[in-house]
Amino acid sequence: MAVLHKIKAYLYDNVLTKDNPNDFIARTVSERSLNVKQICEAAVTRGGADVSAAAMEHATELFLKEMGYQLCDGFSVNTGYFTASTQIRGVFDSPTETFNPQKHNILFQFNQGEKLRSQIATIEIAILGVAEAGAAILQVKDVKSGTVNDLLTPNRNLKIAGSKIKVVGDNPAVGIYFTNTDTGMRTAVDATDIVVNNPSELIVITPDLEAGMYTIEVVTQYTVGTLLKEPRTATFDKPLTVIGIQ
């Protein structure tokens, strides 16, 4: 199959495995995050769609709204490009135990479908080399829900794996921040809520955040052997979700 796409990626030290201290993982260089409107506009300007971008956006929003409704009724969805289903996380200690939102979670699971999987053969990967030795967040795990790079549970533990993310320095900007992607409100983690503070792993208590989408930033003056004069920022490139009370 002909190459139609090209994805760029940098290599980072693999801090997620301990068996080989010299291996690397690749992280894609994301140009930007596209919303429904931008994809519909591209479908018209690049893809030659025979409907207007506005009409396509309206129809897509209607489809997604109805898909969400059906998922909430327990139906699974198969679009060909992705599958989606509703899952219940958490342990039930007896056959008569009922759902408890303080103990159990409802999650929506999305996976690649056959139509999208078939396009993998058209992608060329360009490894740009080892990334500059700066701070980087590689993975975020919400301990309560057990999800990786997905959910945030307020007032519960969050594991952040990365490179050179130890929070140190006397600059007032140093710290860990959660920024609401809609409002721009930035919430700092209290210093006393940093449970583990290592160069490759942080464990923090997630602040009491409202429902919404958030990005995570680690601002630190850490480097090997000394402190940086000015802090640097590691931003996780995947937005994470705080869900409302069930």
Q: What is the pLDDT of residues 153-170, one digit of tens each?
A: 999 999 999 888 999 999
Q: How far apart are CA 159 and CA 139, in angstroms?
A: 8
Q: Is the pLDDT of residue 79 over 60?
A: yes
Considering only CA atoms, which of 168, 163, 186, 188 is closest in space to residue 231? 168
pLDDT over 90 percentage in the chain: 63
pLDDT class of 244 with cuts at 50, 70, 90: low
pLDDT of residue 77: 97
Q: How far apart are CA 2 and CA 4, in angstroms?
A: 6
Q: How far apart are CA 220 and CA 229, in angstroms?
A: 10
Q: How would DSSP label each residue in 15-27? A: TT-SS-TT-EEEE
Kindly report which listed range (18-32, 159-173, 198-212) carries the lowest average pLDDT score.
Answer: 18-32
**CA 225 vs CA 20, 164, 199, 231: distances in Å:** 23, 12, 12, 15
Q: How far apart are CA 221 and CA 95, in angstroms?
A: 52
164 close to 199: Cβ distance less than 8 angstroms = yes
Element at 117 (helix H, strand E) = helix 114-117
DSSP 148: B
Q: How far apart are CA 67 and CA 62, in angstroms?
A: 9
Considering only CA atoms, which of 205, 198, 203, 215 is closest in space to residue 135? 198
Element at 180 (helix H, strand E) = strand 175-180
Q: How far apart are CA 161 and CA 31, in angstroms?
A: 23
Q: Is the pLDDT of residue 16 over 90?
A: no
pLDDT of residue 74: 95
Q: Is the pLDDT of residue 246 over 60?
A: no
